[in-house]
Amino acid sequence: MLAIGGNSLIRSKDKSSFADQLATTADTCRYIADIVEAGHEVVVTHGNGPQVGFILIRSHLARNRLPEIPLDACNAQTQAEIGYMIQQSLDNEFKRRGIKKPVVTVVTQVVVDAADPAFQHPSKPVGPFYTKGEAAKLQKELGWVLREDAGRGFRRLVPSPQPMEVVEKPEVECLLRSGAVVIACGGGGIPVVRQNGTLAGVAAVIDKDLASSLLAGEIGAERLVISTAVPQVYLNYGQANQQALGAVQMEEMRKHIVARQFPSGSMGPKIEAALDFLRRGGREVVITDPDHLSDALAGKAGTHVTN
> pLDDT of the chain along its 307 residues, tens only?
999 986 678 877 788 899 999 999 999 999 999 999 999 999 999 999 889 999 998 998 898 899 989 999 999 999 999 999 999 999 999 999 999 999 999 999 999 999 999 999 998 989 888 999 989 988 898 889 999 987 889 999 999 999 999 999 999 999 999 999 999 999 999 999 999 999 999 999 999 999 999 999 999 999 999 999 899 999 999 899 999 999 999 999 999 999 999 988 789 999 999 999 999 999 999 999 988 999 999 999 999 999 8
Question: How far apart are the C-alpha atoms of 109 and 150, rounded to whole Å?
Answer: 33
Residue of 225, 184, 165, 194 lying closest to 4 (CA atoms): 225
The radius of gyration computed from the CA coordinates of the chain, to the nearest angstrom, equals: 19
Residue of 101, 104, 105, 55 lying closest to 75 (CA atoms): 55
Residue of 141, 103, 147 lying closest to 122 (CA atoms): 147
Question: What count of other Cβ atoms lies within 10 Å of the Cβ of residue 259?
Answer: 10
Q: Is residue 63 part of a domain?
A: yes
Sequence length of the chain is 307
b/e 204-213 (16+ beta carbons within 10 angstroms → b)? bbbbbbbbbb
Q: Is residue 135 part of a domain?
A: no
Q: Characterize the bridge pairing of strands 190-195 and 165-166.
A: unpaired
Q: Please, how many CA atoms are within 13 Å of residue 150, restricted to the half-sphere of its CB?
A: 1
What pLDDT does residue 14 have?
81
What pLDDT does residue 6 have?
66
Q: Is residue 6 part of a domain?
A: yes
What pLDDT does residue 146 have?
93
Domain harbouring 91, CATH code: 3.40.1160.10
Question: How far apart are the C-alpha atoms of 228 and 236, rounded to whole Å?
Answer: 17
Measured CA distances, 111 to 5, 61, 75, 161, 185 (Å): 22, 31, 14, 10, 11
Q: Is residue 65 part of a domain?
A: yes
Structural domain count of the chain: 1
CA dihedral angle for residue 236, residue 278, residue 165, residue 205, rounded to 10 degrees: 10
Measured in degrees and rounded to the nearest 5, phi and psi for residue 293 equal: -60, -50
The pTM for the full model equals 0.92
Domain containing 251 equals 2-109+168-192+206-306
What pLDDT does residue 45 have?
97
Residues with active-site annotation: 6-7, 124, 208, 270
Question: How far apart are the C-alpha atoms of 162 and 73, rounded to whole Å?
Answer: 19
Question: How far apart are the C-alpha atoms of 270 and 209, rounded to whole Å?
Answer: 6
Residue of 176, 200, 203, 44 lying closest to 119 (CA atoms): 203
Question: How far apart are the C-alpha atoms of 289 and 292, rounded to whole Å?
Answer: 6
Q: Give strand pairing partners of 235.
A: 243
Q: Is residue 97 part of a domain?
A: yes
Residue of 232, 268, 275, 209 lying closest to 46 (CA atoms): 209
Q: What is the mean pLDDT of the chain?
A: 93
Per DSSP, the three-state class of 131 is coil
What pLDDT does residue 58 have?
92
Q: Is residue 142 part of a domain?
A: no
| 284-299 pLDDT tens trace | 999 999 889 999 999 9
* Cβ 205 vs Cβ 128: under 8 Å: no
Q: Is residue 118 part of a domain?
A: no
Helices 208-218 and 169-177, packing angle to 10 deg: 60
Q: Is residue 232 part of a domain?
A: yes
Question: How far apart are the C-alpha atoms of 34 and 7, rounded to whole Å?
Answer: 19
